[in-house]
């Protein structure tokens, strides 16, 4: 029978969980950028800070802002902080309001749109991290250029944004 107190002995020190330094991401010190027109993003926790286990970004998007239909190699989790966001995940279209958590499994085709009259604000978590390195590279690119840039990150553009 496995004894949970013998974790270090049973699995050996080479399998011990890596420790990371505590992180405090102060709102007044983060750097914002516009990845797609109408959406301001910032990386709150970079995957390199947590041994690649996850990444956290913050998004603020103006009314009408939308992502193209796409997929990632990572799980993506949205926490809606302000307004209501329309999501499409593998053909299922629905609204997520303040306080909602939306979990998108790796590989699922998805997109979101701000159909409201107010800016939306949400936190986006990726597991594992690394894809956050992609977003600063998207600044100013056309839809065709996006496809080329996202592929090395295990992501792909598979369709247009959700209809208004």
pLDDT of residue 21: 79
CATH code of 99's domain: 2.60.120.10
**Mean of pLDDT values over 123-147:** 90
pTM for the model stands at 0.84
pLDDT-based confidence at residue 94 (cuts at 50, 70, 90): very high
Classify residue 127: in a domain, yes or no.
Answer: yes
Average pLDDT over residues 25-46: 89
At 143 the pLDDT is: 74
- What does the alpha-carbon distance between residue 131 and residue 133 come to, in Å, rounded to a whole number? 5
Domain span including residue 124: 37-158
* 11 is a domain residue: no
Does residue 7 belong to any structural domain of this protein? no
pLDDT over 90 for what percent of the chain? 71
Q: Is 115 left (phi over 0), alpha (psi -120 to 50) or beta?
A: alpha
pLDDT, residue 23, reads 84
Whether residue 28 lies inside any domain: the answer is no
Domain-embedded: residue 125: yes
Does residue 14 surpass a pLDDT of 50?
A: no
Reduced to 3 states, what is the DSSP secondary structure of residue 136?
helix
Average pLDDT over residues 80-106: 98
The structural domain count of the chain equals 1
Residue for token digits 């102060």?
A: 26
Higher-confidence residue of 52 and 29: namely 52
pLDDT of res. 164: 83
- The mean pLDDT of the chain is 87
């Amino acid at each position: 029978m496995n004894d949970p107190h013998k974790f270090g002995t049973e699995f050996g020190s080479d399998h011990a969980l890596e420790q990371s330094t505590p992180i405090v991401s102060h709102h007044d010190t983060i750097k914002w950028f516009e990845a797609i027109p109408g959406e301001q993003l910032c990386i709150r926790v970079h995957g390199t800070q947590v041994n690649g286990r996850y990444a956290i970004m913050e998004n603020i998007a103006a009314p009408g802002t939308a992502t193209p239909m796409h997929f990632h190699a990572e799980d993506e989790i949205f926490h809606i902080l302000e307004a209501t966001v329309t999501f499409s995940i593998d053909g299922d279209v629905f609204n997520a309001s303040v306080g909602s958590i939306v979990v998108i499994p790796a590989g699922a085709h998805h997109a979101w749109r701000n159909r409201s009259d107010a800016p939306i604000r949400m936190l986006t978590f990726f597991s594992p991290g690394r894809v956050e390195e992609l977003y600063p590279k998207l600044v100013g690119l056309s839809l065709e250029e996006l496809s080329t840039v996202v592929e090395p990150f295990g992501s792909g553009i598979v369709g247009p944004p959700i209809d208004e």
